[in-house]
Homo-oligomer: A and B are copies of this chain.
Amino acid sequence: VTKRSVSPFDGLYALPGFPLTLLTVGQNVLTVVSFHYYSHKPPSVMVGIRPDNYSFKLLQEKRVFAVNLLRRDMVEVARQCGTITGRTQDKFARVGLTRAPATKIDGVLVAECPVSLECSVVHEVDFPSTHHWFVGKIEAAHVDDAYLREHALLYWMSEFRGVGELLLKDTSL
């Protein structure tokens, strides 16, 4: 393999894709790809939000959020929830999504999403970034029995992708 040197941004651009999610904060919903797990014990995740986003202030107030996994057939929902603001309108109504009650946090879940994780903020990463990262402990989780990993949606740098086929199942790693 012969590699060519590129800019740091083009290095970031080369990443393949990450799970695309709908983040719910209070009554609002927004599309977020800046999401990863943080720890196995206690099970926790982290989400990065741009400080100019309406949900950023909401989250700093409420200190709870839910991560809802998007399905691969929800590309248009993802686009809309990522491009219109919840500041002046109800995005759920506008996009045709349904609020489902959360069980452990003060907030809502997206009924149409196959997986929802209710989280409480336990830490904020204190280092300047385009995104402000919040670590959230999973307080409750809800999964559609019919959901498979193949149903999920990936995204990175303008490309929406499916999750590829299983190559190997191996528990040694």
What residues of chain A have their CB less than 8 Å away from a CB belonging to chain B?
1-12, 14-19, 31, 34, 36-45, 48, 69, 72, 75, 78-79, 82-83, 100, 103, 111-117, 122-123, 125-131, 133, 135, 137-145, 147, 149-150, 152-156, 158-173
Contact B173 A158 (CB under 8 A): yes
**Known interface pairs A3-B144, A18-B19, A123-B125; A138-B69 also in contact (CB < 8 Å):** no
The one of B11, B34, B83, B173 that contacts A115, using a Cβ cutoff of 8 Å: B11
Q: In the bound complex, what is the Cα–Cα distance between A83 and B172 (angstroms)?
A: 7
The smallest C-beta distance from A40 to any residue of chain B, in angstroms, reads: 5
Whether the pair B144, A1 counts as a contact (CB closer than 8 A) is yes
A17 touches B15 (CB 8 A): no
Bound CA span A14–B68, Å: 11
Per a CB cutoff under 8 Å, which of B112, B114, B164 touches A161?
A: B164
A116: nearest chain-B partner, CB-CB? B3
Give, as a whole number of angstroms, the nearest-CB distance from A71 to chain B: 9
